[in-house]
Amino acid sequence: MKYIIEHMEDGFSEWVTLEYSRIIRDVGKENLLLTSLPAGTTEKDIPSRLLDLGLQWTTEECVNIDPGKFVKDKVCLLDPAAEIDLTPEDSDKFEYFVFGGILGSHPRIDRTGILRKKYGFAGRRLGDLQMTTDTAVRTTQKIVNEKIKFNDIKFIDYPEIKYNKYESTEMPFRYVLDDEGTPILPEGMLELIKRDAEQSIDDLLI
């Protein structure tokens, strides 16, 4: 299975760099491709951490990759507005899974709709709550590679992240739980969330 992220964000935030790093580790560098980077992008525009992990990227739109192989009926767009949920049987139909388009806003903005309308790929939903990109890839991997049904995957919705004794923040996403019942987040994400939260409290105090 190939996982494709149509990168629709402006540049690479720390958040997205941590997410993409985790995805490369989860699916393998040869199975992830970042497409649609702005024309003129060079290696200097890509965080070195991602390059060091072997990130594959292109300024081409996903429809122009793997000519002859990337045919429309082998492509599944992971789309929160799709009418059907992804199932293990979909692994027989699709080879490419395309992600991208919602910018973490809550409530979500339907930017995946741009991809849906532009390319007309078959869409599949991963339940009715917004996931982070690495969670959406992890969930897809569990369904199509490990053949686990969506309803058998253990999730937590809107977990509370405690960043000191008194304060916490609610994450507006659904996450997969690990065997210890802890939400799976990319390495370094917890620290980033804590830093951001402390920074905004400091800003309030100024």
Question: Which residues contact ligand SAM (rule: CB under 6 A)?
Answer: 5, 7-9, 16, 78-80, 99-102, 104, 112, 125-127, 129-133, 136
Q: Which one, 8 or 184, has the nearer CB to ligand SAM?
A: 8
Q: How far is the CB of 103 from ligand SAM (least distance, A)?
A: 6
Q: How far is the CB of 121 from ligand SAM (least distance, A)?
A: 11
Residue 106 or 203 having the CB closest to ligand SAM:
106
Give dist(CA 173, CA 191) in Å, integer: 17
Least Å distance, CB 85 to ligand SAM, is: 8
CA dihedral (112, 118, 124, 125) in degrees, to 10, reads 20
For residue 188, what are the contacts with CB-CB under 8 A and spacing of at least 6?
18
- Closest-by-Cβ residue to ligand SAM is 136
Closer by beta carbon to ligand SAM, 100 or else 183:
100
Residue 140 Cα distances to 66, 89, 104, 164, angstroms: 21, 12, 18, 33
Q: What does residue 52 show for φ and ψ, rounded to 5 degrees?
A: -65, -30
CB of 175 to ligand SAM, least distance (A): 11
As beta bridge partners, residue 124 has 78
